[in-house]
Amino acid sequence: MTITLTMKEESELWAEGNHNNPQQPERESFEIFQELPKRLGKGYVRDVEVHPEFQLGIFDYEYHDDVLVKIPEWDHPLQFFVLLYGRTIDEYGGQVGEGYTCISGSGVQRQMTLELRDILLHQL
């Protein structure tokens, strides 16, 4: 089964997972930790502010089902992605993972639908 979510819906589901989890791990003031709701899969996202305006994101999660995330056009920062395993694919042929990395310049990102598969991602 494939689940299709907007970027906003995906964010709300992650927030729900944190709200419903009373056993949050201890964290420093410069980091954010979010768990995926158990009904959707397993794993977490951890963002660490390495320096002001410079964050390291560690994404380690797996959905139970295939997930498509509809991402609207948006302003985004300079990004560098390395997938340790898993793969993301967009409808324009862009891939990260399975031998591909991504350096994304800041500016306006066009809207896209992103397919997520077994993600372990490091993002700067």
The dihedral through the CA atoms of 13, 82, 100, 72 has a sign that is: positive
HSE of 105, CA atoms in CB hemisphere, 13 A: 2
pTM over 0.75? The answer is no
Could you tell me what percent of the chain has a pLDDT over 70? Answer: 69
Lowest mean per-residue pLDDT among 1-15, 19-33, 92-106: 19-33
49 compared with 119, residue with greater pLDDT: 49
Residue with tokens 């995906």: 10
Q: Which two tokens stand for residue 110?
A: 């066009």
Could you tell me what percent of the chain has a pLDDT over 90? Answer: 2
- Domain of residue 78 covers 2-123
Q: Using one digit for the tens of pLDDT, what is the confidence trace for 10-45?
A: 888 888 866 655 555 566 677 888 888 888 888 888
HSE of 97, CA atoms in CB hemisphere, 13 A: 17
Structure confidence at residue 10 (pLDDT): 87
44 compared with 86, residue with greater pLDDT: 44
- The stretch 45-60 carries a mean pLDDT of 86
Domain count of the fold of the chain: 1
- The stretch 47-60 carries a mean pLDDT of 86
Structure confidence at residue 20 (pLDDT): 55
DSSP class per residue in 52-105: TTEEEEEEEEEESSEEEEEE--EEE--EEEEEEEEEEEETTS-EEETTBEEEE-
Q: Report, in this order, helix, strand and coil percent for the chain, each rounded to 5.
A: 10, 60, 30
